[in-house]
Amino acid sequence: METSQRTVLVTGGAGYIGSHTCKALASAGYLPVVYDNLLHGHEWAVKWGPLERGDIRDGSRLAEVFTTYKPVSVLHFAGLAYVGQSVLDPGRYYEFNVAGSLALAQAMREHGAKRIVFSSTCATYGSPEKLPIGEETPQRPINPYGASKLMVERILADFRRAHGICSTALRYFNAAGADIGGELGEDHDPETHLIPLVLGAASGRRPPLAVFGTDYDTPDGTCIRDYIHVSDLAAAHVLALRALEHGTALDAYNLGTGQGYSVREVIDATARVTGLDIPFSACPRRPGDPAVLVSDATRAHQELGWWPSLSELDTIIRSAWAWHQRGSSPRG
Ligand code: UDP
C-alpha cells in the first residue's frame, strides 16, 4: 500500500469501538491517525498511530489534519451514543452527530478523500415489527440518537451520488466486551451500558443494577438485545474498508450475532462467569428503549466474509470482567 493508502483517518479513535478498531487496522497494515476531542475518548487508548485533538464540528481543524496526512479513507466513529441522554438533550445529538458528520463529509470532499466507513446503529430501525432485523427493514428510529445516525446515513448516500465519495454504514447492535489481549476495554464516563454496570454491581464498585423495565412483551419481561464483541466489530471495519477499496461495498451492513439475550439473562451469565451475586432492582422503563433488537447479519457474512468469533455471551462477559478487574483509568 502507498503511504496515503495506508493512512486512515479514524474520528473518535480514542473511544471504545474506535480504539479497538485502530488495533485491528494496525494489524492489517494500516496507519490509523486518530482525530478525537477526548471528551469521551482516552489518550491512553491511542497506541497505534498519531493523535490529533479536534472537534468533529470544527471544519478548519479538520482541514489542517486532512492537509497534513492526506488520508484517502476515513473511519467515522466520533459522535454521541447514549440513547437516554439523546431523549433528554436531542439538540446536542443533532449538533455532534449530524452537524459534525456533515463537517467531516465537506472536509472529505474538499480534500479529495474518497472512502468512509460510518458507525451507524440498529437504533435507526426503531421498534421493527419483524425480527430478526435485516438491512431492508424500514428505518423508523424512536429516539434522537437513532434519528441522528439515520440522517448521517442519508447525507453520506447523497454525497456518494453527488461527489463520488464511497461510503458504507455499519449498523452495530450492542457493542460489548474488551480486547482479549487486555490492552483496551470499555471506559465511559458516565457509564450507561448494561454489561459494565452489571460488572460494577457484581464487584461492588457500582451500586446495584437498576433493571429498566420488567413489563416488556418478552419471555422474562426485560429487554432483549444482540450483544456483539467489540473486537468482532473492529474486524468488520477492516473488511468494510477493504470492500470500499475494491469497489464492492454495499451501502449498509448489520453487525450482530443474531442471538438475543434479555437483561435478566445478562445478569445470570455475569453471575455464572464471575461467581458473584448481582444485586439489582426492578425499575421503570427507560424512555426510548425498544423491547427487542436482534440482527440478521447474513449480508455481512456473505458479502464481507465477516463472522463473529468472540461474541458468545460468556466470552464477552469474561473479557469485560478481566478488564473491569484491572481497575480504573488511566490504563497503561
Ligand atoms: N439497561 C438496564 N439497566 C441499566 C442499563 C441498561 O436495564 O442500567 C438495559 C437497557 O434498558 C437495554 C439494555 O440494558 O434494554 C442495553 O442497554 P445499553 O444502554 O447497554 O445499550 P442500548 O441498547 O441502549 O444501546
Residue 174 in contact with ligand 1 by CB distance below 6 A: yes
pLDDT at 187: 86
| Segment 310-314 mean pLDDT | 98
Residue 229 in contact with ligand 1 by CB distance below 6 A: no
Domain ranges of the chain: 4-176+228-255
- List the CATH code of the domain at 4-176+228-255: 3.40.50.720
* Percent of the chain residues past pLDDT 70, beyond the cut: 97
pLDDT digit string (tens) for 10-44? 999 999 999 999 999 999 999 999 999 999 999 99
How many helices, marked H, and strands, marked E, lie in the chain? 12, 13
C-beta separation of 68 from 271 below 8 A: no
pLDDT digit string (tens) for 193-242? 999 999 999 999 999 999 999 999 999 999 999 999 999 999 999 999 99
327 — pLDDT class (breaks 50, 70, 90) = confident
Q: Which atom of ligand 1 is nearest to the CA of 83?
A: 24
pLDDT at 4: 62
Strands 224-225 and 261-262: antiparallel
| Backbone torsions φ then ψ of 74, nearest 5 degrees | -130, 135
The CA-CA-CA angle for residues 186, 269, 20, to 5°, reads 25
* Distance between CA atoms of residues 76 and 119, nearest Å: 6
Strands 73-76 and 7-11: parallel
Whole-number Å distance, alpha carbon 194 to ligand 1 midpoint, is 5
Q: Where are the alpha helices (DSSP H) in 189-280?
A: 194-203, 230-245, 263-274
Residue 203 in contact with ligand 1 by CB distance below 6 A: no
C-beta separation of 286 from 123 below 8 A: no
Residue 8 in contact with ligand 1 by CB distance below 6 A: no
Whole-number Å distance, alpha carbon 275 to ligand 1 midpoint, is 22
pLDDT at 159: 98
pLDDT digit string (tens) for 259-276? 999 999 999 999 999 999
pLDDT at 50: 98
* Residue for grid cell 444482540: 226
| Segment 46-68 mean pLDDT | 98
C-beta separation of 46 from 19 below 8 A: yes
328 — pLDDT class (breaks 50, 70, 90) = low
Q: Going by C-beta distance under 8 Å and a sequence separation of 6 or more, which residues neighbour residue 324? A: 185, 196, 199, 200, 203, 205
Q: Mean pLDDT for the chain? A: 96
pLDDT at 288: 83
Residue 223 in contact with ligand 1 by CB distance below 6 A: yes
pLDDT digit string (tens) for 90-146? 999 999 999 999 999 999 999 999 999 999 999 999 989 999 999 999 999 999 999
Out of 286, 292, 294, 313, mutate this one to test ligand 1's pocket (max ligand atoms within 8 Å of CB): namely: 286
